[in-house]
Structure 1
Amino acid sequence: MKTPTAGPPAAAVPVLEMRSIVKTFPGVKALSDVSLTVAQGEVHAICGENGAGKSTLMKVLSGVHPHGSYEGEIRFRGENCVFKDIRASEARGIVIIHQELALVPYLSIAENIFLGNEHATRGFISWNETLRHAAVLLDRVGLREHPQTRVADIGVGKQQLVEIAKALSKKVELLILDEPTAALNDEDSAKLLTLIKELKGQGISSIIISHKLGEITEVADSVTVLRDGRTVETLDVRSGSTTEDRIIRGMVGRDLDHRFPERTPYEGDPGAHPALEVRDWTVHHPIDQHRKVVDHVSVLARRGEIVGIAGLMGAGRTELAMSVFGRSYGRNISGTVLKDGKEIRTRTVSEAVRHKIAYVTEDRKQYGLNLIDTIGRNISLGALDKVSRRGIVDEHEETRVAESYRTSMNIKTPTVFEQVGRLSGGNQQKVVLGKWIFAGPDVLILDEPTRGIDVGAKYEIYSVIDRLAAQGKAVVLISSELPELLGMCDRIYTMAAGRLTGEVPRAQATQEVLMRHMTSDKR
């Protein structure tokens, strides 16, 4: 009697299948027949331009958009799932960490980890058990902080690790990370990516949404590309043939031959007075007034020039920009600001704006926009006097101005009466830029202007910046992305620990040179 031969091994059941997902908002189909499959122990990336539907898809998966509000099917470990809210998805082992971290700053790390999931008996919390378990989780994510440390007293990179520890406390099987490194420096980003790989080794699957394609090709096993709310393709990164350019082609539907617009390098009159000059600028920390966050820094920008400022987190770049712009940050500020060779006062934001200096903040949601108001209202806020008569806003003129910026800056929305909070990140950033361009500045300080937006929207914003310089504006560009500074700037200043450590002309600038200056202990 023959022994029966074994057949081929059964295919492993995917940890997740999302089949033909359709999600519609009033007047907009955000997702149209989107499908996604994630294998066990896989790091699966989702890429796409802003507004492609990435975050919406993850909100469907995590129960933020509950079952019944969308069409299609979700299967987790082979079982059909109908999540009515986020607690239902977490109970099944699916945990999402949003780009805006959901931590309470004035509670301790341990309290945040177990918030809503406390170690309690008959309504009484066991603090010994809470601290012991928190310490185990912090060790697992590699965070060397005491569990009783306040979240407000640790940096953003460490807060990301607290979020992951919180997810692990819920026995996570599928971890969703939405732009996890958007606000992190290179060192903290590298640590986080290493942790994602370690979790993969422990059998935890991950979905990562990111616009940083270099990180995607480093950490992901597969990439699903979305475009206009549809699944375009899924690429196998492990094959070695999936490059950044290949992902971009899927995202934008064409080859993007150049990441930056071609521009003629600055060739102005070096003898002319700079549009903006800051001399011997010193700023103290608003709480610890003995600590200098900007220490005797001198910089200048000429008309028609794009000047970069590079530095690691904590270098003092944003503190420099905000303190110059109406002393929006810091205490005991000293130094001199000159515009076109004449000393000016910028003690308040109104004074800075009157001198035609504008500042585009790195935090567009908190400081750059009124998210519950319309596109038109947000754009006019930079110069209300231009759309007002005798103190009353001319709504027709306001709408006409907003429409002109919607068209010229390619803000993707059918109407300027749309609420800004409903726009994608890239389109929100265009509104912020439009607001300050409408104000008619001579000097435009841009702080992380492309953070958290896709390559297509980045190119459009780079083109706007290039046009402003060509019109004779002086542009100061602060960025954590060295390729961005190298691709756009005529000169680049470097900062470390609040001090200026270098000034590098375009012809001599490389990532290695900039990083050497950025890590210098020069005093």
Structure 2
Amino acid sequence: MISATLNQVAHNGQPKRSTYSGDFVLEVDQVTKAFPGVIALDNVSLRIRPGSVHVLMGENGAGKSTLMKIISGLYQPDSGTLRLRGETVQLNSPLAAQRAGIAMIHQELLLMNSMTVAENIWIGREPRNRFGVIDHSQMQRQTEALLQRLKLNLDAESEIQSLSMANRQMVEIAKAVSLEADVLIMDESTSSLTETEVEHLFAIVNDLRASGIGIVYITHKMNELFAIADEFTVFRDGKYVATHPASGITREAIIKLMVGREISQMFPKQPVALGEVVLSVDQLGLDGVFANVSFDLRAGEILGFAGLVGSGRSNVAETLFGITPATHGTIKLKGQPCVIDCAGTAIRHRLAMLTEDRKETGCFLPLNILENMQIVALQQGYSQHGVVREAAVEQACHNMAQQLRVKTPNLYECIENLSGGNQQKVLICRWLLTQPDILILDEPTRGIDVGAKAEIHRLIVELARTGVAIIMISSELPEVLGMSDRIVVMHEGQVTGIVDAASADQVTIMSLAAR
């Protein structure tokens, strides 16, 4: 059983399980938290039952992540109380939360890239010999036992930087399970996983629930709520809205609770008269990664890219943008051959790219919103003789932030303090300020709530209407089908088909992606 790892991975005997039998293992009562210029949480409450999965939903900026950081000891509430197993607690640090029996899997992975799987799982808790020295052999055995019982096909000695995003996510899950917690918080844990990996994760979650763990599960995906939740709570604009059993409620009713309004059209794709071919790719390849990729992209077209994790979709995008220059094939821009050897070359040719991982390759976390937004556009008409026209660029950033409804008190707020969805909006603003002809969007709505998704979808359609050519990579098949004109499907570094979205369905795409 997977649950055998909960409290005993390297010792003999039966695992220790959560024994709390009260109504609620975790109670959040009237908690408030404010930051300069914004109230992130306004007297919110939450009740988590032992042996249950409680889904927490709400738009980006609703306060979900702030509350989870309070529960996990990263933030301190301004007012309100936390009760764990019926007793009032003060969690002054993440370590205090862990020792109290709370573990959290963060949406933005908190792993040390140069360390191994084993070192990441047991960091700060390494087994030691009688001389106080880390016992690497023991740590290896503990890790292998944990991975085996979780049925994770990972090498304990692999460095994190060598793993795919999906496998890094699995390491975070293994690390959290190893903490032997009574409360487990999972924040968008399926964002990097394939359908098969999601099923595996749900098997782990079901086993954790059966062992008595109280699980807080944050997601924006409705199908996950209905698949795994016992009950759910909705926050909106930092306030508690409602708690409801997961059964007996419709998708539409949940969306209305989240956004305070009905969203009648999630995919507002409209026919656009396509222009000239602006990008032509012929037999493009990158040694050992992908090969023989060919397609044309027209002005005003939304060209979707679909495929399972590891299919090469993001690698093609990075090659087009010069991050990993091609080793084979040709790229033509408006009919003219072009060698894109770095991102700077791509930008000069009016290409822009929103990367898949906003934390690792998108946001400059120590900088503020203005600095993050303007960093590429400074040489795009906002400087003269080496002098930046600060007022002009700040006004342009302000206008763009308003257009995309970035929730922030001002542009001088540190981007690290924003929700994941608002960070994503800032990055989209960054690239729109360059006025690109070709916009590459790699997972543009990953970790984005349903309301923000609709806004970004409308923005993509509007950009296409103005003639911008768009490549959109997405792991969500309804999004690819609903937003694209055509879809390029990839499998193991090869294009297996290019289909018209209007005549395709999920079965068609999956049959090409999994062949």
The correspondence of residues 245-256 of structure 1 with structure 2, limited to 5 A, is 245-256=252-263
Contact 2:442 / 2:472 at 8 angstroms: preserved in 1?
yes
Q: CA RMSD in A?
A: 1.9
Q: Which amino acid aligns with 2:370?
A: G
> Given the alignment, which residue of 443, 451, 454 partners 1:456?
451
Q: Which amino acid aligns with 1:508?
A: S
2:400 maps to 1:391? no
Tell me how far apart the structure 1 counterparts of residues 155 and 338 of structure 2 sit (CA, whole Å).
47
- Aligned pairs for 1:125-144 (under 5 A) are 125-144=134-153
Of the three residues 372, 375, 378, the one matched with 1:378 is 372
CA distance in 2: counterparts of 1:100 and 1:250, whole angstroms: 26
Alpha-carbon distance in 1 for matches of 2:40, 2:218 = 17
Higher relative contact order (CA 8 A, sep 6+): 2
Flag the 1:506–1:165 CA change in 2: closer, same or farther, 3 A.
closer
**Counterpart secondary structure, 2:347:** helix
State the identity as a percent. Answer: 40
Residue deviations 1:286-340 (CA, integer Å, cap 9, x gap): xxxxx2x121100111111111011111111111111111x2125x612111122
Equivalent runs, 1:82-481 vs 2, <5 Å: 82-120=90-128, 121-237=130-246, 240-261=247-268, 263-268=269-274, 273-284=276-287, 291=288, 293-325=289-321, 327-329=322-324, 333-385=327-379, 386-481=381-476
2:266 aligned counterpart, secondary structure = coil
Aligned residue identity for 1:268: L
CA distance 1:170–1:122, change in 2 (3 Å): farther
Give 1:47's match in structure 2, choosing from 44, 48, 57. 57
Residue among 463, 485, 494 paired with 2:489 = 494
Unaligned runs of 5+ in 1: 1-10, 285-290
**Cα 1:158–1:404 shift into 2, 3 Å:** closer
**Do 1:217 and 1:243's aligned partners in 2 also have CA atoms closer than 8 Å?**
no
Q: Is the 8 A contact 2:38 2:409 kept in 1?
A: no
> Structure 2 length as normaliser, TM-score?
0.91
Measured against aligned partners, the alpha-carbon deviations of 1:417-444 in whole angstroms (never above 9, x if no partner) come to 3332222222222222222222121111
Give, as a single letter, the amino acid of the residue that structure 1 aligns with 2:488: Y
* CA distance, structure 2, for counterparts of residue 102 and residue 497 of structure 1: 28
Q: Whole-Å Cα distance in 2 between the matches of residues 102 and 432 of structure 1? A: 21
Structure 1 residue matching 2:499: 3-state secondary structure? strand
Whichever residue aligns with residue 471 of structure 1, its letter is T
Residues in 1 aligned to 2:397 and 2:131: alpha-carbon distance in whole angstroms: 58
Corresponding residue number in structure 2 for 1:7: none
Deviation at 1:397, TM superposition (A): 0.8
Whose Rg is larger?
A: 1
**Letter in structure 2 aligned against 1:374:** N
Equivalent AA in structure 2 for residue 311 of structure 1: G
Number of residue pairs aligned between Structure 1 and Structure 2? 493
Contact 2:232 2:243 in 1 (8 A): yes
2: CA distance between counterparts of 1:380 and 1:367? 16
Contact 1:47–1:224 (Cα < 8 Å) also in 2: yes
Q: Structure 1 residues 266 and 28, CA, compared in 2 at 3 Å: closer, same or farther?
A: closer
Contact 1:221/1:236, CA 8 A, preserved across alignment: yes
CA offsets per residue over residues 256-301 of structure 1, 9 Å max, x none?
A: 111122x4324436xxx411111110112xxxxxx2x121100111
Q: CA deviation at 1:415?
A: 2.3
Instruction: Structure 2 unaligned segments of length 5 or more: list them.
Output: 1-20
Give the secondary structure class of the aligned counterpart of 1:275: strand
CA offsets per residue over residues 440-459 of structure 1, 9 Å max, x none? 21111111111111111111
